[in-house]
Amino acid sequence: MNKPPTPVASNFIRNIIDGDLAANKNDGRVVTRFPPEPNGYLHIGHVKSICLNFGIAKQYGGKCNLRFDDTNPVKENEEFVKAIKADVEWLGFEWDELKHASDYFDELYNYAVELIKQGKAYVDSSTAEEVRSMRGSLTEPGTPSPYSNRSIEENLDLFARMKAGEFEDGEHILRAKIDMASGNINMRDPTLYRIRKVHHVRTGTDWSIYPMYDYTHCISDAMENITHSLCTLEFEDHRPLYDWVLDTLQTPAHPQQIEFARLELEYMILSKRWLKKLVEDGRVSGWDDPRMPTITGIRRRGYTPAALREFCERIGVTKNDAWIEMAVLETIIRDDLNEHSPRRMAVLDPIKVIITDLADDYNETLSFANHPQKEEFGRRDVAFTKEVMIDRDDFSENPPPKYQRLIPGGEVRLRGSYVIKCEEVIKNDAGEVIELRCTHDAATLGKKPEGRKVKGVIHWVSASAGVSAEVRVYDRLFTVPNPGAAESLEATLNPDSIAVHKQCYLEASLADAKPEERFQFERLGYFVADRYEHSKQNPVFNRTVTLRDTWAK
């Protein structure tokens, strides 16, 4: 029954590291880092990077740091720092060192002075507009800035005064002097420092200039003795600059940047801009809405850290722009939950069934296995009474072909209980079915009925012994595989991405569930007690995923 663990697949990054180890590069050390900017919530795309970086370190007996890339104080704050740490920990990883790019502001400044002294950096006093127009285009080379030949002394003086706060935002920038005619636009005298007279969460008002990503990242990696700096494909063009900085300066190390493809998932959107819009427009309840692809949202939906890690292992790491089907994610969470979740019965859209040949006060205690294949999950008692609730779509007056649930005059097994027969259908004035009158076959408890076959089995909850609860049924947020490519995001929103059932009947024991405790509601799917809103008094469950359904509807 237990599946063998998926073997660790080889990938191009592991191949590179194996080669480095074989050549005894870096003295056999493997050091990676996960470097988020604390400007938003982490999502499943980041999970791929987290699993890759921490996973590589673990597999090779190396280290992995968590480093906040906090070089742009106007976009960053402490709330995100806390949330990111919590997400990484929840995923089951421990960082070796907690770092911030801002830890290196002094070194970064000194290295910049060194570049100026080498004649490799200069202060440009052009406007942003002028800098842009002189950069050229994708097909035309740029033109040198009129400030690129300032003397070293003048550059040193200006840069020191930039640091001292003598100038306002935008008056000057520090640029590397590389090649304005390069085919790679990142090499056309990239900006190293800009003036930002704003408060920084960690350095306060110490600085009025802040280093840019390209200049900061490579040096931060070097300062931490990172061996393999893993990032996404869009940074491929930045690698020459990464290497230029480290080749030009005397840094403690020269890490190797390796790029891999970011995660793309069908029916999801991972762009921060769009996720923000969903939250701001009230399309979801917040960043932790169970439909959101954020780690906090996925967690609230009921996914497990182990499933997310397994997902990353299975999708692999390549340089291909890959679109992963939802089925991959869903299969993995089902496998995990099937293995680890106790079973319960719950009725989401109830119809009352009265078993007419039972006494009004009938109350039988039935013993149910908590897991059909795992004895160690133990058993529980379930009350069977004269009135029970069943789900509305387990009864049909006009059944489709091969329907094997309850129909007028037909029989069906109440799971773990008796076979009942529908004798009478009661409707209200609107013609809606409100009650079914049934009889039961007393000889069918734990036995097959005699002389006939009853194929259908449906779940149920005692009307008097069950507890009422709210159950939120979630589905994908979008109706198209690639909503990001649509003309209008709104038009692709799935109007049925959430269905709240407020009058559900659950087995009584479910009220005692702890927040984030997971169950399989038999025949319905896997559900989790809501992390924030569930309580014994007001049970609230979220559907994580349905059961696999091979019955063509």
Q: Within positions 151 to 190, which residues make up the interface with RNA, using CB under 7 A?
A: 169-170, 173, 183-186, 190
- Phi, then psi, of 435 in degrees rounded to 5: -165, 145
Residues 459-518 touching RNA, rule: CB under 7 A, are none
* Residue 64-103 contact track with RNA, rule CB under 7 A, x = bound: -----x-xx--x----------------------------
**Based on CB atoms, which residue is closest to RNA, 15 or 535?**
15
Residues 105-144 touching RNA, rule: CB under 7 A, are 124, 126-128, 131-132, 135-139
| Spatial CA neighbour of 288 closest among 29, 37, 25, 79 | 79
| Nearest distance in Å: CB 281, RNA | 21
Assigned token pair, 231:
């990032």
CA 211 to chain centre: 30
Measured on CA atoms in the order 501, 506, 512, 514, is the torsion positive or negative? negative
By CB under 7 A, name the one of 281, 325, 364, 424 that touches RNA: 325
- Phi, then psi, of 113 in degrees rounded to 5: -60, -40
By CB under 7 A, name the one of 320, 363, 464, 538 that touches RNA: 320
Residues 213-242 touching RNA, rule: CB under 7 A, are 213-214, 217, 233-238
| Nearest distance in Å: CB 341, RNA | 9
Assigned token pair, 240:
């020459």
Alpha helices in 186-268 (DSSP H): 213-223, 239-248
| Nearest distance in Å: CB 209, RNA | 10
- 262 given a catalytic annotation: yes
How many residues sit in the footprint of RNA (CB under 7 A)? 93
* Among the residue ranges 7-15, 84-92, 197-205, 433-441, the one whose residues contact RNA (CB under 7 A): 7-15
Taking the C-alpha atoms of residue 381 and residue 389, their distance in angstroms, rounded to an integer, is 17
| Nearest distance in Å: CB 259, RNA | 8
Choose, from 29, 272, 283, 437, the residue flagged as catalytic.
272
DSSP per position, 322-386: -EE-HHHHHHHHHHHHHHHPPEE-EESSEEEEEETTS-TT-EEEEEEESSSS-GGG-EEEEEEES
- 376 given a catalytic annotation: no
Choose, from 14, 25, 29, 37, the residue flagged as catalytic.
37
- 85 given a catalytic annotation: no
Residue 334: CB atoms within 10 A of its CB come to 20
**Based on CB atoms, which residue is closest to RNA, 286 or 410?**
410
Residues 529-548 touching RNA, rule: CB under 7 A, are 547-548
Residues 362-401 touching RNA, rule: CB under 7 A, are 371-373
Q: Does 201 contact RNA by CB under 7 A?
A: no
* Among the residue ranges 317-325, 425-433, 435-443, 490-498, the one whose residues contact RNA (CB under 7 A): 317-325
Residue 117: CB atoms within 10 A of its CB come to 12
Residue 460: CB atoms within 10 A of its CB come to 27
**Residue 542 DSSP SS3:** strand
Which residues does the annotation mark as catalytic? 37, 262, 272
